């Protein structure tokens, strides 16, 4: 399967990205349920999500790769710190 192309998983991936953008968890769960009957389906959906997410990030940053990478590096650092915080006892 090509990472981006005219196939149902690419359409589902775009819909899942849109659900994330709209902060619509119910739609996201429904899309995942409808498109992940098997592990292979989930794998294809994940690959399509990654490929489309790259295109979204690059497009929104004027195809400036260094800027897109800096944004991702910032997010990675931010989320890594969030996972290290000990839960309240």
Q: Tell me the C-alpha distance between 74 and 5, whole Å.
A: 29
Q: Is residue 59 part of a domain?
A: yes
Q: Is residue 89 part of a domain?
A: no
Structure pTM?
Answer: 0.71
Instruction: Output the tens digit of pLDDT for each of the chain's 89 residues.
Output: 456 666 778 889 999 999 999 999 999 999 999 998 899 888 888 888 888 898 899 999 899 989 989 998 998 999 888 765 555 65
Q: Is residue 60 part of a domain?
A: yes
How many domains does the chain fold into? 1
**Those residues with Cβ within 8 angstroms of residue 27's Cβ, 6 or more apart along the chain or in another chain:** 15, 19
Backbone angles phi, psi at 81, to 5 degrees: -65, -40
Domain that holds residue 31: 8-84
């Amino acid at each position: 399967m090509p990472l981006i192309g005219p196939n149902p998983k690419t359409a589902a991936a775009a819909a899942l990205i849109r659900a994330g953008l709209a902060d619509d968890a119910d739609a996201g769960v429904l899309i995942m349920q409808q498109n992940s009957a098997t592990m292979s389906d989930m794998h294809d959906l994940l690959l399509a999500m990654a490929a489309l997410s790259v295109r979204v990030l690059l497009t929104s940053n004027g195809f400036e790769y260094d800027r897109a990478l800096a944004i991702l590096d910032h997010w990675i650092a931010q989320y890594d710190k969030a996972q290290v915080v000990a839960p309240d006892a």
